[in-house]
Chain A
Amino acid sequence: MSATEATLTPAEEQIARRIDFPTWLPAMLVKELRQGLRQRGFIAALVGFQVLMTLFLIFAVAGGTGSASFDILQSAYWVMINVQLLIVTPLRAVTGLQAELDSRWVDLMMLTRLTAWRIVLGKWFSLVVQGGLLVVAMLPYGVARYFFGSVDLVSEARIIAVIFAASAVVTAAALWSSVLPKLARVVLAIGVAFLWQFAPGSIATLFASRSRSGGPGLTFAVAGTGANWWLLVFDALLLLVVCLVGAVRKLSPRAESQTLLMRGLPLLGLLPLPLLSLRDMMPQAGLTAIFFIIVAALELARAEEPMECHWRAWTRFGRWGRVVGRLVQPGWASAIEWVMVAAAAAALGGYATVMPWKVALAALLGAEALIFPALLLTWMSSQFTQRTAGYALLLIGASVLAAISATAGVFGNLATAADRVMMLMPISSFWSVLQLSVPPPTPVLLGQILLAGAVLGGAWLRASPYRRQRREFETAPTEEPQG
């Protein structure tokens, strides 16, 4: 017994005896591990997979190396790891924060020193740790396969690491989805399930291209493309952080803005471009653009109004602080400025490409496409709460209309009229310019520029009360906290 323990009172001793995790471990991690390890779902998954794998192993041993039952063991091993990491673990995260929000427990947590970041990170990390525990429990079967057949341990360890990393990202996305409305969750789940079919390491690819040695198709899928590993890790990290920021935002007090992080992350995707070969550069730029469009859509749909403390956090850095600060204030009004600046930067960047006119036009029409639904939303009632859904509906709806009009142009005799409409209207004009290899005719170009100018100018005008508010924040007397 240490000296500290020796001085404990009987009441304190009673408490000390009960504490099963070191007291320096973070609260959320301890709580989640305590609850998670006792959860029936976790126990059932652990025991169920063990029972199944034991049965497969017995059959494989009875059948011998090269038998059909040995092949089944090989498949089962990878399927189990995939199911545990890419289905069970994210599924446990899908209700992760929603349960806490519904039970209002999160309110109590927020009144401690736990920040929204600590809560989300603790939740996510404990889920990943529990996923890791499930995989560790599977390792004996991996070793058994090594003894019974020819298995490339290094390659398999790498594959497990990739699946584990993918699991961490998908779990973060699932955690984010847990704070979204139910409809958004369902749409996101369907989207992820759909995309997963094309992802390396999915069950579909495993079954489709199982290697002779029993390894998963992932070996071919990733190695075959000559994928840039560090770039994959970089992009995965960006995606991971965006998902976590999305979840954190829901829990943060209004005064604690996560806007800088949310709007800065997609732009970080451009950082590796100078280091990439020409072949890798285009996919990375495309990925960053998709990333930017998704975040821009989320930001432009936000009704949140900035507070004085948000603006004052930047004014203390002087003129440059104000320049950056106006781009990262919460809410759609500042998001409009952010999108405009990003579009201008993209247009300038276009001069480094072979078709600068196309990049510049795409940037202008892209900004118009993104801002147009936000502009329409400004006329919606302040009681309209489904702003993100409304924004997505307008953006996707107009895009679908563009696709229909393009189809009509191809199959009907309306090619010219449909093309004109498609090339001029907001949103569809952006899609149409992506198809062009030569600049559009001058009247069309002028029409596009005029319409884009009207949309951007209209949005700028609608955002003017927020710019006025910023000036009021500047002139308001400073209120420094005491104590």
Chain B
Amino acid sequence: MSAAPFLVVHNLVRHFGSVRAVDGVSFQIAPGQVVGLIGANGAGKTTMMRMLATLDPPDGGTIHLDGINAVAHPAKIRRRLGWMPDFVGASRDMSVGDYLDFYARAHGFHGRELIRRIADVVQFGELGPLLDRPADALSKGQMQRLSLARTLLNEPEFLILDEPAAGLDPKARIEFKNVIRLLRGRGKTMLISSHILSELGEMCDSLLFMDAGRMMHHGDTDSLRQRDAVAAGAFAINIRVHGDPAALLEWLSVRAGWRLVESRRDGARAAFAGSDPLVLAGELRRLTADGICVTDFHREERRLEEAFVEMLREPAPVRPQRGVAAAEDRS
């Protein structure tokens, strides 16, 4: 990663009584990156997001956004971030228009600028027809659009979206994914939490896995899908052929680097020793050149849900001792 990290979280700790809701979490996000935050209920996602949004002080560790200490200078950070929680926070007797007007004023806009900002986010969220509707009487999808519109009023550089797709119907989910793409196009750095892993896999550059307050993994989605195979220095390949697969099975048994894992009615599942995609491409050319009629040849990928479940089974990463962590903090 060549650019300096935009967000640096180091050894973040937050406890409620004896419960460590966030337990020594460290990670970095580059500018313009979209990062997914995954974890079961109670994993510490919302607690961490609230700390990143400067709403709760951490009990230990540091958060720096673009070099600014978020704990010591929350006001400087707040101007640059947008937080979309899993609630809209609209009160009674408040229309959609009043809601946006209030937040635009709260961000310090007035006059023509205030009108422009509201008009922009209304257009972005397609909220025009809803302006006179009570804000607390919208459908879930409309509420999410309103919430996102509020979040974008001050054109923040860093967006924290907490369960933005929760409760949305399939159509609204697709629309939401498009919105994320649009925001990515505008260069926003985003941290998105969700339970729906496949969705995050499509939207995010990298994924953070949390469990019981600890970070289990931080990496890009491809590496996660192929983690097992790559770790073993091999690709898992599914091959389908036209007609009898006997020729394929024989080819696999004699060809160096290949190992048959499972024969199937229309092909085979095999392991190829090597992790260079170019070598693999050469093997495919050789396979067809040897007269085997290949109809499908693809690298097997694990579903993110499987990766997540497997990760939960793994022993937790070793946490630095308290004294060491404190010394690191001070340094």
Residue A8 CB within 8 A of the other chain: yes
Asked if residues A35 and B93 are in contact (CB atoms below 8 Å), the reply is yes
In the complex the two chains form, is B76's CB within 8 Å of A30's CB?
no
B150 in complex: contacting residue of A8, A24, A108, A255, CB < 8 Å? A108
Q: How far is the CA of A28 from the CA of B108 in the complex (A)?
A: 11
Cβ contacts under 8 Å, A100 to chain B: 91
- How far is it, in angstroms, between the C-alpha of A254 and the C-alpha of B50 when the chains are bound? 14
Complex Cα distance, B122 from A63, in Å, reads 61
Among B54-91, those with CB < 8 Å from A are 54-55, 57, 66-69, 71-76, 78-79, 81-83, 85, 87, 89-91
Q: Do B94 and A108 touch across chains, with their CB atoms under 8 A apart?
A: no
The stretch of A11-19, A165-173, A183-191 that contacts the partner chain: A11-19
Contact partner of B71 (CB less than 8 A), chosen from A23, A115, A255, is A255
| Contacts of B172-229 to chain A: CB distance below 8 A | none
Q: Is the CB of A481 within 8 A of B93?
A: no
CB of B264 closer than 8 Å to a CB of A:
no
- Tell which of A19, A107, A483 touches B89, judged by Cβ atoms closer than 8 Å: A107
In the bound complex, residues from chain B placing their C-beta under 8 Å from that of A278 are: none
Task: List B residues 97-116 near A (Cβ within 8 Å).
Answer: 97-98, 101-103, 105-112, 114-116
Binding site for A on B (CB under 8 A): 17-18, 50, 53-55, 57, 66-69, 71-76, 78-79, 81-83, 85, 87, 89-94, 97-98, 101-103, 105-112, 114-116, 118-119, 122-123, 128, 131-132, 150, 154, 330
> In the complex, A19→B115 CA distance in Å?
9
Contacting residue for A34 out of B74, B94, B109, B116, CB 8 A: B94
Contact A111 B83 (CB under 8 A): yes
- With an 8 A cutoff between CB atoms, is A225 at the interface? no
* 10 pairs, CB–CB < 8 Å, chain A vs chain B: A4-B112, A15-B122, A23-B110, A23-B115, A31-B102, A105-B91, A107-B83, A113-B79, A383-B17, A483-B76
**Given the complex of chains A and B, what is the CA–CA distance between A151 and B97 in angstroms?**
48
Known contacts: A11-B122, A11-B123, A482-B67. The answer to whether A27 contacts B89 by CB under 8 A is: no
A12-B116, A255-B72 given; 5 more Cβ-contact pairs under 8 Å: A14-B128, A23-B105, A31-B98, A107-B53, A476-B330
Residue of A nearest to B110 (CB): A23
Q: B17, B81, B119: which has the most chain A beta carbons within 10 Å? A: B119
Pairwise interchain contact B114-A23, C-beta atoms closer than 8 A:
yes
| Min distance, Cβ B277 to any Cβ of chain A, angstroms | 41
Select one of A4, A23, A104, A253 contacting B57, CB under 8 A.
Answer: A253
Contact indicator A15/B118 (Cβ below 8 Å): yes
Distance (whole angstroms) from the CB of A315 to the closest CB of chain B: 14
B112 touches A383 (CB 8 A): no
| A35 vs B94: C-alpha distance when bound (angstroms) | 7
By beta carbon, the residue of chain B nearest A28 is B106
User: Within the complex, which residue of A12, A39, A107 is in contact with B85, where a contact is CB–CB below 8 Å?
Assistant: A107
Tell whether, in the assembled complex, residue B93 and residue A253 are in contact, meaning their CB atoms are under 8 Å apart: no
User: Chain A residues near B154 (CB, 8 Å)?
Assistant: 112
Cα A246 to Cα B53 in complex, Å, equals 24
Kindly report which residue of chain A lies nearest to residue B56, judged by CB atoms.
A254
The answer to whether B73 and A14 touch across the interface, beta carbons within 8 angstroms, is no
Q: Which residue of A lies closest to B123 (CB)?
A: A11
Chain A 252-291, CB-CB to B under 8 Å as 1, else 0, gives 0111100000000000000000000000000000000000
B93 near A39: Cβ-Cβ < 8 Å: yes
Query: Known: A35-B91, A113-B108, A255-B74. Is A27-B119 also a contact (CB below 8 A)?
Result: no
When chains A and B are docked, how far (Å) is the Cα of A181 from the Cα of B39? 33
Cα distance A246–B189 in the bound complex, in angstroms: 37
Nearest to A381 among chain B residues (CB) is B17
CB distance from A127 to the nearest CB of B (A): 15
Question: A437 → chain B, closest Cβ, in Å?
Answer: 51
A101 and B103 alpha carbons, distance in the complex (Å): 17
Knowing A18-B131, A113-B107 are in contact, say whether A254-B89 is a contact too (CB < 8 A). no
Partner of B115, one of A16, A28, A253, A482: A16
Point out the residues of chain A lying under 8 angstroms from B67, CB to CB. 481-483
In Å, the complex CA distance between A99 and B90 comes to 11
B68 surroundings in chain A (CB, below 8 A): 481-483
In the assembled complex, the Cα of A93 lies from the Cα of B81 at a distance in Å of: 31
Please state if A111 and B72 are interface contacts (CB–CB under 8 Å): no
- Inter-chain CA distance A15–B50, complex, in Å, is 32
A9 at the interface (CB under 8 A from B): yes
Are A18 and B97 CB-contacts (below 8 A) given A111-B53, A253-B57, A308-B72? yes
Candidates A12, A38, A383, A472; contact of B119 at CB < 8 Å: A12
Docked CA distance A23–B131 (Å): 18
Q: Which 7 A-B pairs have the closest CB atoms?
A: A27-B105, A112-B106, A105-B89, A482-B67, A27-B106, A254-B57, A23-B110
What CA separation (Å) do A107 and B106 show in the bound complex?
A: 13
B97, A15: Cβ atoms closer than 8 Å = yes
Q: Are A11 and B114 in contact (CB under 8 A)?
A: no
- CB of A26 within 8 Å of the partner chain: yes
* Docked CA distance A476–B329 (Å): 11
Min CB–CB distance B168 → chain A (angstroms): 20
Contact in complex: A108, B115 (CB < 8 Å): no
Task: Give A180 Cβ to nearest chain B Cβ, in Å.
Answer: 20
- Residues of B close to A442: CB separation below 8 A: none
A19–B116 CA distance with the chains assembled, in angstroms:
13
Q: Taking the complex as formed, is A392 at the interface, i.e. its CB lies under 8 A from any CB of chain B?
A: no
Q: A253-B54, A383-B17 are in contact. Are A104 and B87 (CB under 8 A)?
A: yes
Task: State whether A30 touches B105 (Cβ < 8 A).
Answer: yes
> Is A129 part of the binding interface, using a Cβ–Cβ cutoff of 8 Å?
no
Choice from A112, A114, A253 contacting B74 with Cβ under 8 Å: A253
Decide: A481 and B73 in contact? CB cutoff 8 A. Answer: yes
Contacts of B55 in A (CB 8 A): 107, 110-111
Q: Which residues of B contact A23 (CB under 8 A)?
A: 105, 109-111, 114-115
Asked whether, in the complex, the Cβ of A35 is within 8 Å of the Cβ of B119, the reply is no
Contacts of B91 in A (CB 8 A): 35, 99-100, 103, 105
- Expressed in whole angstroms, the minimum distance between the Cβ of B127 and any Cβ of chain A is 11
The answer on a CB contact under 8 Å between A113 and B93 is no
A109 CB-CB contact with B under 8 Å: yes
Least CB separation from A119: chain B residue? B106
Residue of B whose beta carbon sits closest to that of A113: B108
**Interface membership of A309, Cβ < 8 A:** yes
Decide yes or no whether A403 CB sits under 8 A from chain B: no
Q: What are the residues of chain A within 8 A of B116 when measuring CB–CB?
A: 12
A11 touches B103 (CB 8 A): no
Q: Is the CB of A24 within 8 A of B111?
A: yes
- CB pair B73–A19 under 8 Å, yes or no, is no
Residues of B within 8 A of A24 (CB): 110-111
Q: Mark A80-107, 1 if CB is under 8 A from B, else 0.
A: 0000000000000000000110011101
Q: How far is the CA of A38 from the CA of B78 in the complex (A)?
A: 31
Residues of A near B74 (CB, < 8 A) are 253, 255-256
The answer to whether A34 and B93 touch (CB under 8 A), given A12-B116, A26-B105, A254-B57, is yes
Contact B98 A34 (CB under 8 A): yes
B71 to chain A, nearest CB (A): 6
B118 (CB) vs chain A CBs: closest residue: A15
B150 neighbours in A (Cβ, 8 Å): 108
Q: How long is the Cα–Cα vector from A162 to B150 in the complex, in angstroms?
A: 42
Q: Nearest residue in B to A5 (C-beta to C-beta)?
A: B112
Find out whether the CB atom of B106 lies under 8 angstroms from the CB atom of A255: no
**A307 interface residue per 8 A CB criterion:** yes
Asked whether, in the complex, the Cβ of A482 is within 8 Å of the Cβ of B79, the reply is no
